[in-house]
Amino acid sequence: MPYAQRLGALRRAMASLNLQALIVPHDDEHLGEYIAPYAERLAWLTGFSGSAGVAIVLAEQTAMFVDGRYTVQVRQQCPAPLFSYHHLISEPYLDWLITKLAPGANLGFDPHLHSHQWLQQAAPKLAEHGISLRALDHNLIDSLWQDKPAPSQHSALLLSQDYSGQHSQAKRSRIASELAAADIEVQLLTQAEPINWLLNIRGRDIACLPVVLGFALLYQDGRVQLFSDPEKFAELEVTTHWGEDVSIHPVAELSEALIALGQQQARVQLDPDTANAWCGLTLSQAGAELVLAPDPCMLPKACKNPVEVNGSRAAHLRDGVAMCRFLAWLDERLTQPHPEQEDEGTLADKLEFFRRAHPEFVEPSFSTISALGPNAAMCHYHHLNGTPRQLGQDSVYLVDSGGQYLDGTTDITRTVAVATPQGEPPSKELKRLFTLVLKGHIDLASARFPANTCGQQLDILARQPLWQAGFNFDHGTGHGVGHYLSVHEGPQRISPKGSQTALTTGMIVSNEPGYYREQAFGIRCENLQVVQPATTDGELPMFEFETLTWVPFDLRLIDQSELEPKHIAWLNHYHAQVRQKLSPYLTGAALAWLIQATHAIT
């Protein structure tokens, strides 16, 4: 069904309910960043495949709201006659809606797909302008989506303590004791990552995100009711893994359990930013006392224990080997006849081939961003959204990729020169911009900072070289990364509008400044790094970043006249470590490539 017909059918469904507008977010009932195919309602309706976006459907128009990563992509995927385009951050969609709807209008939304906090803020704001916010009993798109995919049926995985570093019972006892101290009877857990971390389980319910989807109730005595698909645990020794205090129930029984808590007038804690509005409404309408607080699993999950950190080191080492084999192959391929036989898709496949050579590899940690030339200007470009661009016509290639391993999650971006002998080499301006981005990366990687420093305070370090020259990038500098979990993890991050959560021991974050020029090229330099205590002779306890990623930066793209001595020293030291760590695992042409790619510069 063409998108115009889908929008028409949806508008007829809206009219039957007297709705003048409908909000369609890119979310599922767990409100995580990544969603399963059955929840891709925004993509079904509009064609937009990005991970962050909202459509507002009115009687005569549909507006697409996306952040800075997708401003180019949305125009390519959502045709202008059907859609208008807006920035999700600088032009909030509720503010826009208020200018479009008259008093007395009804705005529909699915309460499963919006947070409790969103509802608490949106309802009174809209009411001030006479707009009624109506929670729908069923999702209107689900009634129209005839070939909607079924949820995953993959079995769960019980993650060994050899990988997790801590038994589930110890985690549950720690969180439960905090609940008891605050006189909280029950904690409602709604997002997959904290539940999977708490119970030391993983799954395959979402591509690239190794989780079992579900909800959980954690009681102050350490008991847990897990609401998921029981069939996924049917053949597993769950009692041996968890002990006696975890029970599994179908998701359909969650409503009954929440109503029962309400009838008991229980004090139930939930995270207003991650719990969906339906859960909050069900509990409060049944009589529960809601206590709003951040998910208590998020911070301990983010602070990796020594076993998890060591696992992440090992995962990054083997990931570096795969990346170097790929980059060595790519350089060799550029010298052979007909490089145009390769394109963004075959390059992504080749990189995954090298990763899959390692038996510990499970799957990619996200869809590989394999982007040549102008396609790299789209931060989250994916070659499957159009015709993959062929190798041989561009001077630079950006590849942002990662792997899920049982002992860690990786994420790396390299921008490399791919000009053929007959092609145009990277321009002087491009090399200057690459060098400015790399300088920002190095400045952040070299930072030392006292306790209680958050990522927002450090973000400027990665931008300053670009700012000094009059450039910037429209995305955060760094996101948290899980341990064999989500490649995007909170609460820590490095961003101009970042989290106020202090960076502390065991937190893994990315360091990925960039620069993007529409219709021309994109540049990004990304490593992962873990926060560790720093040794100084000063008065204050300090922290620093330990680099986890070991892959050379492309020396052919560096304008050495732009580098300061401190940047040259850092880069030479980093490349010496890359060579030392990876050489034992490479042979032949790949080893020769590594030695050349890591030579010292002066």
3-state secondary structure of 535: coil
Mean pLDDT in residue range 556-580:
97
Same domain, 178 and 278: yes
CA distance 130 to 281: 22
201-220: per-residue pLDDT in tens? 999 999 999 999 999 999 99
Confidence (pLDDT) at 422? 80
Same domain, 179 and 317: no
Reading the block at residue 145, the tokens are 């989506």
Provide the b/e sequence for 76-101 (b: ≥16 CB within 10 Å).
ebbeeebbeebebeeeebbeebbeeb
Here the CATH number for the domain that contains residue 104 is 3.40.350.10
Cross-strand pairs, 531:
545
355-406: per-residue pLDDT in tens? 999 999 999 999 999 999 999 998 778 887 778 999 999 999 999 999 999 9
Same domain, 427 and 526: yes
Beta strands 403-405 and 542-547 are unpaired
For the CA atoms of 96, 56, 71, 466, what is the dihedral angle to 10 degrees?
40
CA distance 291 to 352: 45
Long-range contacts of the stretch 329-334 (C-beta < 8 A, 24+): 329/354, 329/590, 330/397, 330/416, 330/418, 331/593, 332/589, 332/593, 333/391, 334/391, 334/392, 334/418, 334/419, 334/420
**Closest to 295 (Cα-Cα) out of 551, 31, 558, 504:** 31
Confidence (pLDDT) at 308? 98
Give the rounded percent of residues in the chain with a pLDDT score beyond 70: 100
Beta strands 403-405 and 408-409 are antiparallel
**Closest to 554 (Cα-Cα) out of 580, 577, 528, 524:** 524
The backbone torsions φ and ψ at residue 362, rounded to the nearest 5 degrees and listed phi first, read -105, -55
Any domain includes 206: yes
Confidence (pLDDT) at 79? 87
Reading the block at residue 445, the tokens are 């990687």
Beta strands 106-109 and 21-25 are parallel
Q: How big is the CA angle at 565 (ends 560 and 567), to the nearest 5 degrees?
A: 70
Same domain, 406 and 546: yes
Provide the b/e sequence for 542-556 (b: ≥16 CB within 10 Å).
bbbbeebbbbbbbbe
Same domain, 449 and 401: yes
Any domain includes 152: no
Any domain includes 602: no
Any domain includes 388: yes
Structural domains in the chain (count): 3
Domain extent, residue 492, equals 303-597
Mean pLDDT in residue range 489-502:
91
Any domain includes 583: yes
Q: Around Cβ 103, how many Cβ atoms within 10 Å?
A: 8
Where a domain ends, among 86, 113, 144?
144
Residue tagged 């010298």 (tokens): 335
Q: Around Cβ 323, how many Cβ atoms within 10 Å?
A: 25
**Closest to 571 (Cα-Cα) out of 400, 438, 417, 431:** 438
Any domain includes 498: yes
Mean pLDDT in residue range 142-165:
95
Same domain, 318 and 280: no
Average pLDDT, the chain: 95
Mean pLDDT in residue range 180-198:
97
30-82: per-residue pLDDT in tens? 999 899 999 999 999 999 988 889 999 999 999 999 987 788 888 889 988 89
In the predicted model, is pLDDT for residue 233 greater than 90? yes
Q: What pTM did the predictor assign?
A: 0.92
Any domain includes 151: no
Confidence (pLDDT) at 1? 67
CA distance 580 to 567: 20
The backbone torsions φ and ψ at residue 305, rounded to the nearest 5 degrees and listed phi first, read -80, 170
**Weakest-pLDDT range from 49-53, 227-231, 397-401, 590-594:** 49-53
Any domain includes 168: yes
Mean pLDDT in residue range 231-241:
94
Here the CATH number for the domain that contains residue 444 is 3.90.230.10
In the predicted model, is pLDDT for residue 421 greater than 90? no
Same domain, 269 and 391: no
Where a domain ends, among 89, 121, 144?
144
Confidence (pLDDT) at 379? 79
Q: Number of helices (H) and strands (E), helices first, in the chain? A: 19, 28
Residue tagged 């996924």 (tokens): 232
